[in-house]
Amino acid sequence: MTFAITTDFIATQNAKALDAHKEDYSALARQLERRAIDIEAMTTRAMAYAVAVPTWGVGTGGTRFARFPGPGEPRGIHEKLEDCGVIHQLARTTPTVSPHFPWDKVSDYRALRQEAASYELGFDCVNSNTFQDQTEQAKSYKYGSLTHADKSTRQQAVEHNIECIEIGQQLGSNALTVWIADGSNFPGQSNLGKVFDHYMQSLQSIYDKLPKNWSVFLEHKMYEPAFYSTVIADWGSSLMAATELGDKAKCLVDLGHHAPNTNIEQIVSRLIRAQKLAGFHFNDSKYGDDDLDAGSVDPFRLFLVFNELVDAELSNAKGFNPAYMIDQSHNVTDPIESLISSAMEIQRSYIKASLINRLELSGMQDQSDVMAAHRLVKQAYNTDVTPILCEARLRKGGALHPFATYRASGYRNEKAKERPAVAGSSSGIV
Ligand code: PSV
Ligand code: MN
Mean pLDDT over residues 182-198, rounded?
98
Distance 54 CA to ligand 2 centre (A): 10
* Ligand 1, pocket residues at CB < 6 Å: 56, 127, 179, 219, 221, 254, 281, 289, 327, 430
Identify the residue whose C-alpha is closest to ligand 1 atom 9: 430
For residue 57, the ligand closest to its alpha carbon is: 1
Atom in ligand 1 nearest the alpha carbon of residue 430? 12
% of the chain beyond a pLDDT of 70: 98
pLDDT at 428 over 80: no
Identify the residue whose C-alpha is closest to ligand 1 atom 1: 179
Mean pLDDT over residues 32-54, rounded?
98
Residues around ligand 2, an ion, CB closer than 5 A: 254, 281, 327
Mean pLDDT over residues 384-396, rounded?
99
pLDDT at 1 over 90: no
Mean pLDDT over residues 4-11, rounded?
98
Mean pLDDT over residues 240-267, rounded?
98
pLDDT digits (tens, 9 = 90+) for 258-274: 999 999 999 999 999 99
pLDDT given for residue 427 in this prediction: 46
Listed as own residue / partner, the contacts of 412-420 with beta carbons closer than 8 Å and 24 or more positions apart are 412/71, 412/72, 412/334, 412/336, 413/71, 413/72, 414/3, 414/72, 415/3, 415/71, 415/72, 415/79, 415/83, 416/71, 416/72, 417/72, 418/2, 418/3, 418/72, 419/72, 419/73, 419/74, 419/75, 419/79
For residue 290, the ligand closest to its alpha carbon is: 1
Average pLDDT of the residues of the chain: 97
Atom in ligand 1 nearest the alpha carbon of residue 256? 4
pLDDT given for residue 422 in this prediction: 72
Mean pLDDT over residues 91-99, rounded?
98
Mean pLDDT over residues 200-218, rounded?
98
pLDDT band at 69 (very low <50, low <70, confident <90, very high): very high
pLDDT given for residue 144 in this prediction: 98
Atom in ligand 1 nearest the alpha carbon of residue 224? 2
Q: 127 near 98, Cβ under 8 Å?
A: yes
Identify the residue whose C-alpha is closest to ligand 1 atom 5: 179
Mean pLDDT over residues 349-354, rounded?
99
Distance 40 CA to ligand 1 centre (A): 37
Atom in ligand 1 nearest the alpha carbon of residue 181? 1
pLDDT at 106 over 50: yes
**3-class secondary structure for the chain?**
CCCCCCHHHHHHHHHHHHHHHHHHHHHHHHHHHHCCCCHHHHHHHHHHCCCEEEHHHHCCCCCCCCCCCCCCCCCCHHHHHHHHHHHHHHHCCCCEEECEECCCCCCCHHHHHHHHHHCCCEECCEEECCCCCCCCCCCCCCCCCCCCCCHHHHHHHHHHHHHHHHHHHHHCCCEEEECCCCEECCCCCCCHHHHHHHHHHHHHHHHCCCCCCCEEEEECCCCCCCCCEECCCCHHHHHHHHHHHCCCEEEEEECCCCCCCCCHHHHHHHHHHCCCEEEEEECECCCCCCCECCCCCCHHHHHHHHHHHHHHHHCCCCCCCCEEEECCCCCCCCHHHHHHHHHHHHHHHHHHHHCCCHHHHHHHHHCCCHHHHHHHHHHHHHCCCHHHHHHHHHHCCCCCCHHHHHHHHCHHHHHHHHCCCCCCCCCCCC
pLDDT given for residue 421 in this prediction: 82
Atom in ligand 1 nearest the alpha carbon of residue 100? 8
CA-to-CA distance for 406 and 410, rounded, in angstroms?
A: 7
Distance 406 CA to ligand 1 centre (A): 27
pLDDT given for residue 10 in this prediction: 98
Mean pLDDT over residues 58-67, rounded?
94
Distance 328 CA to ligand 1 centre (A): 9
User: Per the omega criterion (within 30 degrees of 0), is the bond before 322 cis?
Assistant: no
Identify the residue whose C-alpha is closest to ligand 1 atom 11: 430
Q: What Rg value do the Cα atoms of the chain yield, rounded?
A: 22
Query: In this structure, which amino acid lies at residue 238?
Result: S
Stronger pLDDT, 393 or 428, i.e. the higher one:
393
pLDDT given for residue 67 in this prediction: 95
